[in-house]
A and B are shown apart, each in its own frame.
Chain A
């Protein structure tokens, strides 16, 4: 479904060569404003294939807006957003971007409440998305096993037939992560995946994310407020502030950075 028309020549602010080369996600000078408020202000960010990245920042720093831009929900006023070196995401809509291999978990868990846990995962399952293909779709034994395995992995094996709307907040978070797993995406964006979870659930989620990052076949961007959780992930941290990158590095470097202390930890 991707034509050449989506492949663009990027301008090269960083000198000669293809700046997005070797990246899975490339944001350059991305700005978004809502009624004069600059939600993103010349944001630039590069993510390598297989990388796990955590993003922190105070409220209003632009974390969710950044995810909206990457997933096609919001169009940037200016800047380049490239996936896999050359696919221009600013020209695609949400479903096209999802089909490219970018999955998203929302800040507020959104699952289909009138469908069962099993059915939620079945909808997310990687398969033909066309109307007629889904009309004639018949779950194979293999696919059923994949769903069962995912349910076991997210700790909902005994809730297969329960309506998603009846799950606890934490369970909904897990179900949504499970839906991302079913989609088998190459880039996962997780917006506050442990919000509302108990300590043990948070720990288990950190473990799951580390498991996902380990084999290097997918890249993950995790937005989180919980510093313990960020520490547990032990990944490179990007600090956003007022719509652009304030600092980048390990958690230790970040926490020692005077600018970060001033705008974030200092509060």
Chain B
């Protein structure tokens, strides 16, 4: 672990195009969007309305989630169909903090208990809500709980050499079981309704456009940071071992590597990134409930990554924006068609574009070069 490795690897191993692209995205998301929102008069055609800023903030969280998915699916070859659970757990951690921040401003005016607990006639705060008054604790839990779940779940599964479709099925079962558990009022997470009616975060009122813009910009920063972390991992020797595990797991064993630990590293890191995305998502949408655990949500994440192009990181981000953009548009224009389109998209990508949009782009460029 010698000193030059970090900076040298981040700079040397990559082509300039990537860094130019990142700089371009940073300017677009962190300078142009805020300017269009703040500096343009509301009646101008160039003005970006507040709801659009929050929508973009949501997409940025989805993109971070897709990045996490790509790390584990595109590089380690582990098709997790339960990543929505890690996202939701991160969201619940942040939701619990915001619930505690409401204090006596709830419907029942109870400073010690969230409204739903008063409604259930609970007398005191359950032990697992302790500490969520503090932002640092909630932020830590948003990473630690998904990370710990992934570590234990992954250790049991990978050690027993459960791979492929069997692993996908048990991850679906995991998120489904969590959904059923969180639906129960006795769990103490608000049951069916989940956690909502948040007022502010760290003293910033959530209804304020400036708070929304701030959360949006934070989401952009986190996506950039998550991208750098993921990039660092996949360009390391560990990243190449991940790809080796993906392509020929048993062969890797004979080289003396343990695929269990390689996959466990990827799975746990990925779950923590997903938790982080969830923690940023919930303040922007104002609610977290058990439907976030639904198996269909997790499958949708895999579709984002497949559409963008897995095993590329950039493709995952692209896919999250493309599919969610289409979803926003179509659920407004023709809501009954959305699920059909999503299914058709998945089939089309699987059959026609195994490398996703990014692969298509590469093909077009190669053709142009061949003609030139």
Contacts and interface: CB of A to CB of B under 8 A. Distances in A.
Interface of A: 71, 73, 93-95, 98-99, 103-104, 106, 110, 112-115, 119, 122-124, 129-132, 134-138, 179, 183
B361 to A, nearest CB: 19
Given A94-B250, A131-B265, A136-B1, A115 B256 contact: no
Interface string B206-243: 00000000000000000000000000010011101101
A94 B237 CA distance: 21
Contacts of A93: 253
A24 B265 CA distance: 35
Interface of B: 1-2, 4-5, 8-9, 233, 236-238, 240-241, 243-244, 247-248, 250-258, 261-262, 264-265
B255 to A, nearest CB: 6
A87 to B, nearest CB: 15
B237 A95 contact: no
Contacts of B262: 131
Contacts of B250: 73, 94
Given A98-B256, A112-B247, A138-B2, A131 B9 contact: no
Contact of B253 (A98, A106, A123, A131): A98
Nearest to A110: B251
A45 B331 CA distance: 70
Given A99-B256, A131-B261, A123 B251 contact: no
A99 B247 CA distance: 21
Given A110-B248, A112-B251, A114-B247, A122 B258 contact: no
B241 A104 contact: no
Given A98-B253, A112-B248, A122-B240, A138 B5 contact: yes
A112 B240 CA distance: 10
B238 A135 contact: yes
15 contacts: A73-B250, A95-B253, A98-B253, A113-B247, A114-B247, A115-B244, A124-B255, A131-B261, A132-B265, A134-B236, A136-B236, A138-B1, A138-B8, A183-B255, A183-B256
A131 B241 CA distance: 9
Contacts of B254: 71, 94-95, 98, 103-104
A152 B257 CA distance: 26
Given A110-B251, A124-B255, A179-B255, A136 B241 contact: no
Contact of B243 (A106, A115, A129, A138): A115
Contacts of A119: 240
**Ordered nearest first, which 6 A-B pairs have the shortest CB separation?**
A94-B253, A98-B256, A137-B237, A134-B238, A138-B5, A136-B1
Nearest to B246: A114
A98 B255 CA distance: 6
Contacts of B233: 135
A233 to B, nearest CB: 23
B247 A95 contact: no
Contacts of A106: 251
A66 to B, nearest CB: 15
Contacts of A179: 255
Nearest to A126: B256
Contacts of B243: 112, 114-115
B240 A135 contact: no
Contacts of A132: 265
A129 B5 contact: no
